[in-house]
Amino acid sequence: MYELHEHQVTGAGYALIVISTFAVLARFYMQWVRRDQFRREDLIVLFAFAVLLCLGAIYIYVTPIVYRVADVGDDTFREYSGFLQDAVTQLKVTFASAILFPTVLWTVKLSLMSISHRVIQRQSAVIRCWWVLFVFVGLTYIGTLIVNFLRCRSISDYFTPGECSTGRDERAQYASFLFVIVADILTDLLIMVFPIIILVRVQLELSVFVRTSVIFSVGSLCIITSMCRAIMVGLLMRENIPTFPWLAFWDLLDCSIAVIVACLPSYATHYIWITTRRNARCSNTYELGNSMHGNKFRTITTINSTPPSSSHAEKLPPHVGQVVRTYNVSVETEDV
């Protein structure tokens, strides 16, 4: 398998952090343009971004150390003063990254769940299902932390070079890797499918259903990335324990894409907002004369989570990004 060079790992780390930073800044800039209020999922995305920065920082910091240690192990260089300390530092970063990596991914899941919670929070029957899903996602996150602590026979082995390398340890590390991958993909699927099922029950008109479903389907990008990571790293683990540079690269790539995915619903909301404003301006044009009759435009006014025959509808401010109904409004003016 092709081995990454030091400058490739650090360069990829810097690039992914810059791209993620731009994505997060663009998200909040768009919200400021829309004068949208600061929501719960915004705080969650900021936390995920902060954890990503920590993960990227420790990977970039330790990468030169990893290559120095690897050169000694390959007999390229003789053991130098501080070699043992560098080896321990590498193990500490590996342990910390195994905690930070799922933290970023599961925080992004929580941000997407926060959006669906806002949509269905007034529906008692559906909200119970949401809480069941929330508990399941929380338990899978706890599971990822537990399997991380079980990869070696004892905690001290994590930070002692050469200790966590028995056959039992290698099998435990492979099992831990598989558990995180399966839990990640499964929870992404559930989080993505759950609100779409609710939208089907609401029986929205097709155009609104499609664009709202797209917002909730952004998790598919995380699933694709996780599958690519599983294939690449999994193949390496079948041959031998994968090298640190490959783990660092895929961890940063997966987490960066997850943070960007968390920003995509806001981008979609902004696009719909711009389109709605443009259509409203076009529909409000009129000729100079005595009056204007029958000028129609589409405006988002209500959320309705019951079949169209029901008269129960909840009035909401026109914040795009919620499940909404659209209505034709007739505008008439008088000569003044």
8 A C-beta contact, residue 163 and residue 157:
yes
8 A C-beta contact, residue 312 and residue 306:
yes
* Pairing label, strands 292-303, 314-315: antiparallel
List the one residue out of 247, 91, 83, 225 whose CA is nearest residue 158.
91
Cα angle 176, 180, 182 (rounded to 5 degrees) comes to 115
Helix (H, G, I), strand (E, B) or coil at 189: helix
Q: Is residue 292 within a helix (H) or strand (E), and if so which, with residue range?
A: strand 292-303
Q: What is the pLDDT along the chain (336 residues), one digit of tens a residue?
A: 567 788 888 999 999 999 999 999 999 998 898 888 888 889 999 999 999 999 999 999 999 888 888 877 655 567 777 788 888 898 899 899 999 999 999 999 999 998 888 877 777 778 888 999 999 999 999 999 999 888 888 888 888 888 887 888 888 888 888 899 999 999 999 998 888 887 777 666 777 677 777 777 777 888 888 888 888 776 665 555 557 888 889 999 999 999 999 998 888 888 877 877 776 666 554 333 333 333 333 333 333 444 444 444 444 444 444 444 443 333 333 333
Buried b (16+ CB within 10 A) or exposed e, 212-222: beebbebbeeb
Question: Domains in the chain, start-ordered, CATH in brackets?
Answer: 6-270 (1.20.1070), 275-333 (no CATH)
Q: Sheet harboring 325-333: ordered strands across?
A: 314-315, 292-303, 325-333
